[in-house]
Structure 1
Amino acid sequence: MAILGIESVVYGVDDLETCTRFWDDFGLAPLSRDAHESIFEVATGSRIIVRPRANTGIEDWFDWPGVKLVTWGVDTPEALEALVRDLERDREVRRDEDGTAHAVGDDGMPFALRVWAKRTVVSQPDPVNAPGCIQRLNQHRKWRSRARPKTLNHIVFFSHDYVKSFEFYRDRLGFRLTDHSEGLGVFARADGTNEHHSIFWVNTALPVAPDAQGFMHLAFGLEDIDEVMLGANIMAERGWTNTSANSSGGLSRHRISSAIYYYMDNPGGGEAEYHCDTDYLDDNWVPRAWDWKFGALLWAHRTPSFFRTDHDGWDMRFDPEGKSLEPFRKAALSDLPAGLGQISAQDEHAL
């Protein structure tokens, strides 16, 4: 029994035409479009469904545009029914005609489960040369004309109690704890995928976070850094920016997950992320607890000041039982680690 990752997401947007153009430029494969919705997919078959906010068919559980529903893909009908039976012990589960199951987590966020025939993707990134380490001899690198996302790797939500949000997914849906950025949020992996995380919950108590639960960003996996750079350049040429207050602007690499990334503002809400070269894990992975400053990101052209100086207390420790989570259950500003509740304006891009 396994959840294979994100089967689909439904966006509720204010301008369907503009949002459709965004995903066209982003490199997603169009499946269908009309006056009521646009549907795109990536190579694995994960779908992005874009609808006007007033007509998503989903209760609008937060007040700004963005992803209103995530449907998680389940590997078999038997696995889906087992998950549904367990959920029905203490909450309502609504079924669609196609068998899709809808429920609400302990934090109030809706989700759905559906049997999914996830497509296999085979990537062939070119070997990388370095001084003294020749991996590609007498061979030219491939040349690309477009970025084409292969996977829908993960989604990020703001949560009032990120520990509670995670524990529901762990205990009821089988997700694995990957890493904990103490006071900032927690990363979790669906049990049927090897990508570092399938979902990340960010603490709404942070000074730069909204006061309400809701959507932050969606991340798409590409083959290599060439494809990330090409996608970023094409999006910039077509007028799409990464200048929002919460953007970690520029081409950079995460310290947690190791992924090379590039975020951009999404007119449909939140941000869209290109990334590549993320960590891949299995159940032999030992979760880690990170000092929030040390774990946030590695390099960016708007690098916060605390990344440019040495700081005492930057640390990472192994946390196989997730004990680091307990102090941050429904954390208030007064409970956050030193400095996390008083981020300066010039440093807000760290998140």
Structure 2
Amino acid sequence: MSILGIDQITYAADDLPTCRRFFSDWGLALKSETADELIFECLNGCRVVVAAMDRPGLPPAMEEGPTLREVVWGVESDADLARYAAAIADEPGFVDAEAEGARRIGCTDPNGLAVRLQVSRKRSIDLECGAMNTWNAKPRINQAAPVYERATPIEVGHVVFFVADVKATAEFYAHRFGFVGSDSYPDRGAFLRCAPEGGHHDLFLLQLPSGKRGLNHVAFTVRDIHEVFGGGLHFSRCGWETQLGPGRHPISSAYFWYFKNPAGGLIEYYADEDQLTAEWQPREFEPGPTVFAEWAVDGGLDGNTRRQKNAEGPQGKFLTEKK
């Protein structure tokens, strides 16, 4: 019995028209729209809900302003759901009710976030991805690597929160839901995956000296490094502002590109994270710029010139041509 991953997230935002354009440009499919709610889907059916902040029935917020109000994790079966319900029945905010035509259980985590579980609605999909040729393995033969005009995210891969007590919150997810530690910043941050075998992290908890609680970012998985670049360039052309990227994380090995999000926090395209098993031994790191990013472009790339922001555009000459 283990959680399969994120099935749905719910933002509460104060500008739905802007959010509608933002998530459509991001590459999500708009499935339904009402005056106080937008529902988007990723390629595998993972849902992103954006609700007006005054919509009835929203869980309480961890912080002021637009932010994430709820994370719904998927499980394999009704039997799994029943076992998790028994494990969290005494937790604050416990719920066991029908939502969107299915049973959904949940509670409130120590950081004040609404955590829910349901039998997963995500679909299995088979996608063609760019193969990487290395010195030892060359799987891409007589074929160019892909160039993407934009991104179409596969799913919500992980969420990251500022927490008031990283130890208590990490223990909650480990003891109640079986999450496994991947790596950590001692007493500062915990990278957790929802099953012994899987991607490097589904959840990252970060404790600041101020004790701030709230959303840091939501990360969307794309096919490969080429889609990180193609998606980021398209999103830049649409006029949205980069926070940092593209770049590469030494912890998790993933390539990333972060943008500012009108629904709260940051939003990330990422690909090529480490895959771990139960044999993995968690590591400890001291926070620092080179631990967060092996390399990163500050301010992003311009989608039209394909150069760093505010850099001179290409002139039609070979880069090696001398004056």
Do the structures match in fold with TM over 0.5? yes
The match for 1:119 is 123
Structure-2 change in CA distance of 1:143 and 1:204 (3 Å): closer
Structure-2 change in CA distance of 1:138 and 1:267 (3 Å): same
Cα deviation for residue 281 of structure 1 reads 1.5
Structure-2 change in CA distance of 1:168 and 1:138 (3 Å): same
The match for 2:274 is 279
Residues in 2 aligned to 1:133 and 1:99: alpha-carbon distance in whole angstroms: 46
The match for 2:263 is 268
The match for 2:85 is 84
Residues in 2 aligned to 1:10 and 1:269: alpha-carbon distance in whole angstroms: 11
The match for 1:298 is 294
Residues in 2 aligned to 1:33 and 1:187: alpha-carbon distance in whole angstroms: 35
Q: Partner letter of residue 33 of structure 2?
A: R
The residue correspondences of 1:89-104 to structure 2 (distance < 5 A) are 89-97=90-98, 98-104=102-108
Residues in 1 aligned to 2:281 and 2:193: alpha-carbon distance in whole angstroms: 12
Structure-2 change in CA distance of 1:215 and 1:227 (3 Å): same
Q: CA RMSD in A?
A: 2.1
Which SS does the other structure have where 2:22 is aligned? Answer: helix
Q: 2:114 aligns with which of 105, 110, 113?
A: 110
Residues in 2 aligned to 1:56 and 1:165: alpha-carbon distance in whole angstroms: 27
The residue correspondences of 1:15-26 to structure 2 (distance < 5 A) are 15-26=15-26
User: Which structure has greater helix proportion?
Assistant: 1
In structure 2, stretches of 5+ residues that fail to align are 300-323
Structure-2 change in CA distance of 1:130 and 1:105 (3 Å): closer
Cα deviation for residue 117 of structure 1 reads 3.5
Q: Larger deviation: 2-11 or 57-66?
A: 57-66
In structure 1, stretches of 5+ residues that fail to align are 304-351
Cα deviation for residue 191 of structure 1 reads 1.5
Residues in 2 aligned to 1:114 and 1:151: alpha-carbon distance in whole angstroms: 16
Q: Is the 8 A contact 2:62 2:111 kept in 1?
A: no
Structure-2 change in CA distance of 1:28 and 1:56 (3 Å): farther
Identity of aligned residues (%): 33
Structure-2 change in CA distance of 1:136 and 1:108 (3 Å): closer
The residue correspondences of 1:157-306 to structure 2 (distance < 5 A) are 157-191=161-195, 194-205=198-209, 211-242=211-242, 247=243, 249-293=244-288, 295-302=291-298
Residues in 1 aligned to 2:35 and 2:79: alpha-carbon distance in whole angstroms: 37
Q: Partner letter of residue 276 of structure 1?
A: A
Which SS does the other structure have where 1:100 is aligned? Answer: strand
Residues in 2 aligned to 1:272 and 1:38: alpha-carbon distance in whole angstroms: 17
Residues in 2 aligned to 1:130 and 1:112: alpha-carbon distance in whole angstroms: 42
Structure-2 change in CA distance of 1:231 and 1:92 (3 Å): closer
Q: Is the 8 A contact 1:12 1:66 kept in 2?
A: yes
The match for 2:47 is 47
Q: Is the 8 A contact 1:8 1:72 kept in 2?
A: yes
Matched, 1:150 2:145: no
Q: Partner letter of residue 209 of structure 2?
A: A
Cα deviation for residue 135 of structure 1 reads 4.3
Q: Is the 8 A contact 2:12 2:66 kept in 1?
A: yes
Residues in 1 aligned to 2:57 and 2:192: alpha-carbon distance in whole angstroms: 28
TM-score by length of 2: 0.85
Cα deviation for residue 91 of structure 1 reads 4.1
Q: Partner letter of residue 268 of structure 1?
A: A
Structure-2 change in CA distance of 1:120 and 1:104 (3 Å): same
Residues in 2 aligned to 1:20 and 1:260: alpha-carbon distance in whole angstroms: 26
Residues in 1 aligned to 2:92 and 2:38: alpha-carbon distance in whole angstroms: 32
The residue correspondences of 1:61-76 to structure 2 (distance < 5 A) are 61-76=62-77
